[in-house]
Every structure is written in structure tokens, then in C-alpha cells.
Amino acid sequence: MAKSNMAGEQGKQEVLITRLFDAPRALVWQAWTDPKHFMLWWGPKEYTCPFCEMDLRVGGKYLNCMRSPEGKEYWGTGVFREIIPMERLVFTDSFADEQGNVVAATYYGMGPDFPLEMLVTITFEDQEGRTKMTLRHIGLPAGPDTEGTHQGWSESFDKLAESLK
Amino acid sequence: MRRDIFQAIADPNRRAIIGLLASQKLTVNGVAEHFPISRPAVSRHIKILKECGLVVVRKQGRERYCELRLDRLNEVAEWVEQSRKEWNQRLDRLDEYLNELQKKEKKHGEK
């Protein structure tokens, strides 16, 4: 069984984005971790971020909101898993209601195949005065049997694809 | 309890069952023959796969056959594409914001 029949080609099982920002690392870090800054850029173009709270410590929660030009709000919440200032930020990511309760993606009219919990890992590196930022976004399998693991389902997919060969 | 497709594939036994059903449809007993785990355990895994929408059980004569729905696995890739698009849009804005911020700082510095 070819991998392409499983979950797309290699690398499609997770979101991996690398960006070079023309700004010092400290500033990029601040943009991610200081709600005052975060609220000024979070969300796609034309969206606003009317609310953001962060308890920036390992195990601490965040809650934020994006508002579309039509006024539809999308709330997101999660827990910080790793914080190494200016180097590495790891947090879980789920859709939420405005009280911060986790909700399924279907709450916002998205497909039922969105994982309930996702994991975002961001790393920051200096590169000739600029900042190289790498963002990895993976889905985590639901259920208590996988709790506490940082392993995403992309790895399970690889194993599965292997077993289907 | 909420089931999702990610949970279906998180377990090595379930992955093996999916692998087995990818090439053939089998009865629960037929699946169980391939595994050292007990038949009730195999049944439980198949139940979870059913609840996740990955396996359908169809009656054929007196037997009930488990069939794999591979198309469901492909659907998972869709959220990845959607997420990638959203992240790129957000990071475009972060880029703009960082540029604006530094322009302002420069202006202040010149005054």
C-alpha cells in the first residue's frame, strides 16, 4: 500500500513552516508571549484579536479570540508545555468557547476529522541578525491512553503506512 | 466517550488490524486468528475502529465481515492543509507587525 493513499505524501501529516523574520529574536519572542503584542497580529488578514490571556509558565493556560471581519469569533485555548525563553515554546492548541472550555472543531463548522487537541512547537534561532522561526503543528490522539505523551499521530501514521506495505 | 480517527491509529494492535483489513475483508474470528491477543480483545479493538468510522461490518450470508474504509484516513490530511493555510496567514501578519514595530522604534530613536 503506497503512502500516498494513506494521508498524502510524506510530510503532509503535519504542518511544518519555517520563516525568516527581519527582527531580533527577543522581539519575535515577545510578539508570541506578551498578550499586548500578540493581540496586534494574531489571526489571518482582516481579523482582529479582541481577547488574549496567557499564564506563561509550564502547565499554565492561555485563552484567545480571533474575530472575523463579519464579527464571527473563534476562541482558542491550550496549555504551555515547554518554555525556554527566546528558544523554544511548546503548547497545546484546541478550539474553545468563550469561557475557555475545549470544544470540537465542528462547533465552528469545521470537519469532524480535526483532532480535539493539537500540539504547536515553535523554535527561534538567530540567523545573521534575523530570526529563523520554525513552527510544527501536529494533532494529538484523543483519549487517556495517550495522555502525557508528546507523540503526535503523524508518527502513528508512519507506523501504519509501514504496516500496510 | 469521544472517538476520533487519531485514537484509532494510536494503538499498535489497531494499526495491525487496519493493516490486515487493508488487503481483505475478514470476520472478527478471521481477524482474531492473526493475533496472539484474545478474541474479546480483538472485538474491542474492532468496536473502537467502528466507532471511529474506519471499519464497517457488513452481513454476508450468516457471517459478518469487517471492511476497512481507507477513504476515512485520507480525510485526515485535509485538516493539515487547512491548518497550514491558516498558520501562513497568521505569520504573514506577524511579519508585517514586526516590521511596523521596528519602523516605529527607529523613528523614536531619530527624534
Instruction: Give the pLDDT band of residue B55 (cuts 50, 70, 90).
Output: very high
B54-61 CB contacts, 8 Å cutoff, 24+ apart: B54/B5, B54/B8, B54/B18, B55/B17, B55/B21, B58/B25
**Dihedral of the CA atoms A13, A28, A130, B92 (nearest 10)?**
60
Q: Which amino acid is residue A131, in one-letter code?
A: T
Instruction: Give the pLDDT band of residue A110 (cuts 50, 70, 90).
Output: confident
pLDDT, one tens digit per residue, over A18-71 is 999 999 999 999 999 999 999 999 988 888 999 999 999 999 999 999 999 999
Alpha carbons within 13 angstroms on the beta-carbon side of residue A52 total 19
- In order of A67, A89, B86, the CA distances from A41 in angstroms are 12, 18, 13
Record the cell numbers describing residue B38, joined without a space: 484474545
The answer to whether the CB atoms of B7 and A142 lie below 8 A apart is: yes
Q: Which CATH superfamily is domain A4-163 in?
A: START domain (3.30.530.20)
Residues listed for chain B:
111
- Across the interface, of A37, A44, A105, the residue whose CB is closest to B89 is A44
> What percentage of chain A reaches a pLDDT higher than 70?
75
Instruction: Compute and round to an integer the Cα radius of gyration of chain B.
Output: 24
Lowest mean pLDDT among A15-24, A111-120, A122-131, B65-74: A111-120
What gap in Å lies between CA A120 and CA A141, rounded to an integer? Answer: 14
Q: Which amino acid is residue A46, in one-letter code?
A: E
The answer to whether the CB atoms of B6 and A156 lie below 8 A apart is: yes
**Dihedral of the CA atoms B31, B33, B36, B39 (nearest 10)?**
70
The answer to whether the CB atoms of B9 and A141 lie below 8 A apart is: yes
- Residue A1 reports pLDDT greater than 60: no
Instruction: Give the pLDDT band of residue A156 (cuts 50, 70, 90).
Output: low
ipTM: 0.75
pLDDT, one tens digit per residue, over B9-53 is 777 888 889 888 988 899 999 999 988 889 999 999 999 999 888
* Chain A interface disruption, residue of B1, B5, B6, B93, most A CBs within 10 A: B6
Q: Do residues A142 and B4 touch, judged by C-beta distance below 8 A? A: yes
Report angle CA B19, B20, B24 to the nearest 5 degrees. 120
Lowest mean pLDDT among A57-66, A144-153, B35-44, B61-70: A144-153
* Coil, helix or strand at residue A49: strand
The burial class, CB within 10 Å (0-12 / 13-18 / 19+), for A71 is exposed
Domain extents in chain A: 4-163
Lowest mean pLDDT among A29-33, A93-97, B73-77, B100-104: B73-77
- Across the interface, of B11, B73, B92, the residue whose CB is closest to A45 is B92
The answer to whether the CB atoms of A27 and B101 lie below 8 A apart is: yes
Alpha carbons within 13 angstroms on the beta-carbon side of residue B97 total 23
pTM of the model: 0.67
Mean pLDDT computed over every residue of chain A: 81
Scanning A95-114 for CB atoms below 8 A from B yields 104-105, 110-114
Record the cell numbers describing residue A102, joined without a space: 475545549
Residue of A151, A103, A12, A112 whose CA lies nearest to B53: A112
What gap in Å lies between CA A158 and CA A7, rounded to an integer? Answer: 9
Instruction: Give the pLDDT band of residue A9 (cuts 50, 70, 90).
Output: very low
- Residue A14 reports pLDDT greater than 70: yes
Total Cβ atoms within 10 A of residue A123: 15
What gap in Å lies between CA A156 and CA B13, rounded to an integer? Answer: 12
Instruction: Give the pLDDT band of residue A12 (cuts 50, 70, 90).
Output: very low
